[in-house]
Chains A and B, each alone.
Chain A
Amino acid sequence: MLVAMAASDVLTLTPAGLYCRAGDFHIDPLRAVERALITHGHSDHARAGHGAVLATAQTLGIMALRYGENFAGATQAIPYGERVTLGEVVVSLHPAGHVLGSAQILIEAQGYRVVVSGDYKRARDPTCAPFEPIRCDAFITEATFGLPVFRHPEARQEVEKLIASCRLFPDRAHLVGAYSLGKAQRVMALLRAAGWDRPIWIHGAMEKITGFYEENGVPLGQMRKVAAADRAKLAGEIVICPPSATQDIWARKFPDPVVAFASGWMRIRARARQGGVQLPLVISDHADWDELRATVEETGCCELWVTHGAEDALVHWAAQRGLQARPLNLIGYGDDDESVAEAQS
């Protein structure tokens, strides 16, 4: 006898996060567990101390860089698209387009397909593999920018604003706050694509990750370390640093710095102003409202779970389209990348 399956037969919500009993693993667990599947290397998703970790080779590399080689009891790298059997289910990883190595996780249980998106975006990004939509029965999505006011402009346009500002204020340093994994390298790549051929100055916090991107075949042009330079002499230069550094005493030594911040939150003026940002650059590594909706439709899912972000609006929209939709209100994600707390701290 066939019984119709539901997402809750495959995944349940535990204090550690999403758990698949049939395969006995957690996805992006919030605390240390026996076996974890990790979607990408941002620290709110990839934590140290798990028994075994299964992820893309790049995500494992990023975790080793951040937490040391022994960040987990055992690791297993699987390439995009390769199917691995875990208990009674088959899992595979597929590009999510968020940062280098980021993956969606497809779980197949007796023909029933669940996709956990992790964080993702649909906009083009030369620093990572593009998102691949996967047909599924249930789609577990993020909704960091799940409100219709969030429609990201073309990133190219935003970087042109930055370059125009450097031309208008050649006597000022331009500090670009960007999360050190992913956003920073994307901004560098965008600058290169826009024809900025001067060296790009980077803060110490992003040296290792940027080197990792280059080792993984992402060319970013000539980099210089701020640590070794006289900051007072960096007029007219572009300096990429963690968002918190722009508000730090560290930033004061630059000549009359223009504080820029590359984040989807910069769409909201009050947010930018609270962060003391003078040049908001709306560049996001998350899907915007249009991309979220388009992606949900492309998956063909009939059940939608929304893990974190602005859940209510997306659930409202999905319910109107006849989908079974529910918010998970997972606490703990989104504290890291693009977070406003960082801009304010």
Chain B
Amino acid sequence: MNRFAELLDRLAYEPSRNNKLRLLVDYFRTQPDPDRGYALAAMTGALTFAHAKPALIRTLISDRTDPVLFAMSYDYVGDLSETVALLWPAPQPPERPAGSNQPLAPTLSGIVEQLHETSKSALPLQLALWLDALDETGRWALLKLITGGLRIGVSARLAKTAVAAMGGLDPNDVEEVWHGLKPPYLDLFAWVEGREPRPVTDDPAPFRTSMLAHALDEADFATLDPAEFSAEWKWDGIRVQAVTGFDAAGASVQRLYSRTGEDMSQSFPDLLEALGAAGLGDVAIDGELLVVREGLVQSFGVLQQRLNRKSVTAKLINEYPLHIRAYDLLSENGEDLRPLPFMERRARLEALLGRLASPRLDLSPLVSFDTWEALAEARRDPSSAGAGADAQAIEGVMLKRLQSIYAPGRPKGPWWKWKRDPFNVDAVLMYAQRGHGKRSSFYSDFTFGVWREGPAGDELAPVGKAYFGFTDEELGQLDKWVRNNTINRFGPVREVNHGLVLEIAFDGLNRSTRHKSGVAMRFPRISRIRWDKPAKDADRLETLERLLRE
């Protein structure tokens, strides 16, 4: 565990991707199986521990420390796992019969394996024993590991890239076999170290690394020729990969992956069933997950009601009928189509969907245009450019080079996304909360509101929360303003004078029963700090309601 903790500790402070990669490669090269495999699993999100919750950790520490000193310490450090790791009292030297073994620091694999076997009721004691045996860094890493908040700035992709680098492989080589593998990945390490052949993935419906687009800067148009591109709507749903195939016994298998390769099949049994019934054969389709009611594509806000539910009820399935709008075809009956140009893949996709008549699967239509001006007009007004009432679920246009192969990752040049311009509103800062990690000493999460008529004159209705959009320098200014204008404190949250106007940019608006104001913003961020604007001149709730009606 200690070596893993040191790695996490070092990674957390290292800003450079290349240097992170070197730290990872060094770790994987020098650490034994199965420890390194569990470390890889931790960094790729393949480990979850159901019973380890922050409340449990809080109970453990409050049983062992003076509440006043704990409160002072937590307030100072600002992060629960870190506070507990630092505050954990050193155990009394154990009274052991002579000759018995000293307790050893637990290994990462020991911890992971034990955690999966430990019942909820036995967890507190087990956790306390480990915390006793580890040093500060080890305790911190353990608590981060089990509560699922590593936050060390290492993506699953980077961790896999490091594994690939051990054997001089391309990271996509690892991605291709990844879904057939399980922690602690003994076969993967054996392969990259040249001790064994490539692991055979017997997965009948594997994930293929998604191809992503860069955001288009309007200045880029000067260098781009419209004749070389195809355009289609950028649907505001969730990018998915639907894969169907047949297992060894010949039974049909369907899977739905997120764009990062997370298997989301379990959340969407109805859609999986529809894919199975569609008779697709052995294919991998890249598309967008949407809710479509009576032929009308619903906004992201509606789709969101269907996501992240613990149980998928019949009611939920009926009220939120799911749909896949297909963008691309990556493989068909064992043939890898990714090396083909986009236009050929598109033709194959059209042919495939033309043979089927699935109510849950259709083609994302192309947007015709001759000039960039024409495309700009379609982007501004999708409903007049063929999208009709579905325009509410469109967040811009996608440009794909007709000759582009399907290249995993985010290559620059072949694909561009050109999002719709954001909406803006002037809102008043109401509350600020201290951030996490790098921002733990800054008030960096801002709740803002707009005016509405209340029983005693105008009052602010909170409409959203934003924690980015500003520069580091502006963050410093905001933090200072919050500290100087605090009127109330609730733990890490400060209520402030209603004196600062923030220009908020957002991508959409939904009705919400959860928010007091009745509206919820999509992707709100601070676009400008209006030091100059008096708070009373900020926008009113009616403005947002009008936007909602439109």
- Mutual binders A and B: yes
Which A residues form the contact surface with B (CB < 8 A)?
147-151, 153, 161, 165, 168-169, 256, 267-274, 277-280, 310, 312-313, 316-317, 320
Q: Is B41 an interface residue (CB 8 A)?
A: no
Are A268 and B77 neighbours in the complex by a CB distance under 8 Å? yes
Q: Is B136 an interface residue (CB 8 A)?
A: yes
Could you tell me the distance between the alpha carbons of A165 and B14 in the complex, rounded to whole angstroms? 12
Could you tell me the distance between the alpha carbons of A169 and B83 in the complex, rounded to whole angstroms? 31
Tell me the smallest distance from the CB of B67 to a CB of chain A, in Å: 11
Could you tell me the distance between the alpha carbons of A268 and B441 in the complex, rounded to whole angstroms? 11
Are B83 and A149 neighbours in the complex by a CB distance under 8 Å? yes
Are B15 and A149 neighbours in the complex by a CB distance under 8 Å? no
Are A278 and B15 neighbours in the complex by a CB distance under 8 Å? yes
Known: A148-B87, A151-B136. A270 touches B440 (CB 8 A): yes
Could you tell me the distance between the alpha carbons of A273 and B136 in the complex, rounded to whole angstroms? 18
Contacts of A277 in B (CB 8 A): 13
Are B22 and A169 neighbours in the complex by a CB distance under 8 Å? yes
The residue from B13, B72, B437, B441 contacting A278, defined by CB atoms under 8 A apart:
B13
Could you tell me the distance between the alpha carbons of A269 and B77 in the complex, rounded to whole angstroms? 8
Contacts of A165 in B (CB 8 A): 10
Tell me the smallest distance from the CB of A268 to a CB of chain B, in Å: 6
Contacts of B83 in A (CB 8 A): 149
Could you tell me the distance between the alpha carbons of A178 and B229 in the complex, rounded to whole angstroms? 57
Contacts of B19 in A (CB 8 A): 169, 256
Are A280 and B79 neighbours in the complex by a CB distance under 8 Å? no
Could you tell me the distance between the alpha carbons of A271 and B79 in the complex, rounded to whole angstroms? 12
Q: Is B65 an interface residue (CB 8 A)?
A: yes
Tell me the smallest distance from the CB of A68 to a CB of chain B, in Å: 38
Q: Is B468 an interface residue (CB 8 A)?
A: no
30 A-B pairs, CB-CB below 8 angstroms?
A: A148-B69, A149-B83, A149-B86, A149-B87, A150-B86, A151-B86, A151-B136, A153-B135, A153-B136, A165-B10, A169-B19, A269-B437, A269-B440, A270-B437, A270-B441, A271-B441, A273-B437, A274-B438, A277-B13, A278-B13, A278-B14, A312-B72, A313-B69, A313-B72, A313-B73, A316-B66, A316-B72, A317-B66, A317-B69, A320-B66
Are A267 and B86 neighbours in the complex by a CB distance under 8 Å? yes
Are A270 and B78 neighbours in the complex by a CB distance under 8 Å? yes
Contacts of A316 in B (CB 8 A): 66, 68-69, 72
Tell me the smallest distance from the CB of A341 to a CB of chain B, in Å: 13
Contacts of B274 in A (CB 8 A): none
Which B residues form the contact surface with A (CB < 8 A)?
6, 10, 12-16, 19, 22-23, 26, 65-66, 68-69, 72-73, 76-79, 82-83, 86-87, 135-136, 437-441
Complex: chain A residue closest to B74, CB-CB? A149
Contacts of B439 in A (CB 8 A): 270
Contacts of B26 in A (CB 8 A): 168
Most chain B CB within 10 A, of A150, A165, A270, A317, is at A270
Known: A168-B23, A270-B441. A147 touches B136 (CB 8 A): no
Could you tell me the distance between the alpha carbons of A279 and B16 in the complex, rounded to whole angstroms? 13
Most chain B CB within 10 A, of A168, A268, A316, is at A268
Contacts of B437 in A (CB 8 A): 269-270, 273
Could you tell me the distance between the alpha carbons of A309 and B54 in the complex, rounded to whole angstroms? 30
Contacts of A278 in B (CB 8 A): 13-15
Contacts of B72 in A (CB 8 A): 147, 310, 312-313, 316
Could you tell me the distance between the alpha carbons of A149 and B69 in the complex, rounded to whole angstroms? 9
Extra contacts besides A148-B86, A313-B69 (10): CB < 8 Å: A148-B73, A149-B83, A149-B87, A168-B22, A169-B22, A270-B438, A270-B439, A270-B440, A280-B13, A317-B69
Could you tell me the distance between the alpha carbons of A313 and B70 in the complex, rounded to whole angstroms? 10
Could you tell me the distance between the alpha carbons of A118 and B336 in the complex, rounded to whole angstroms? 74
Tell me the smallest distance from the CB of A246 to a CB of chain B, in Å: 13
Complex: chain A residue closest to B140, CB-CB? A269
Known: A169-B19, A273-B437. A149 touches B13 (CB 8 A): no
Contacts of A320 in B (CB 8 A): 66
Tell me the smallest distance from the CB of B30 to a CB of chain A, in Å: 10
What 7 pairs between A and B have smallest CB-CB spacing? Answer: A149-B86, A270-B440, A149-B73, A273-B438, A278-B13, A313-B72, A148-B69
Are A269 and B79 neighbours in the complex by a CB distance under 8 Å? yes
Could you tell me the distance between the alpha carbons of A32 and B82 in the complex, rounded to whole angstroms? 43
Known: A151-B136, A168-B22, A267-B86. A279 touches B13 (CB 8 A): yes
Complex: chain A residue closest to B73, CB-CB? A149
Tell me the smallest distance from the CB of B459 to a CB of chain A, in Å: 35
Contacts of B73 in A (CB 8 A): 147-149, 313
The residue from B13, B69, B76, B87 contacting A272, defined by CB atoms under 8 A apart:
B13
Contacts of A280 in B (CB 8 A): 13
Could you tell me the distance between the alpha carbons of A271 and B14 in the complex, rounded to whole angstroms? 14
Contacts of B16 in A (CB 8 A): 256
Could you tell me the distance between the alpha carbons of A161 and B2 in the complex, rounded to whole angstroms? 13
Could you tell me the distance between the alpha carbons of A153 and B137 in the complex, rounded to whole angstroms? 10
Contacts of B12 in A (CB 8 A): 269, 273
Tell me the smallest distance from the CB of A109 to a CB of chain B, in Å: 34
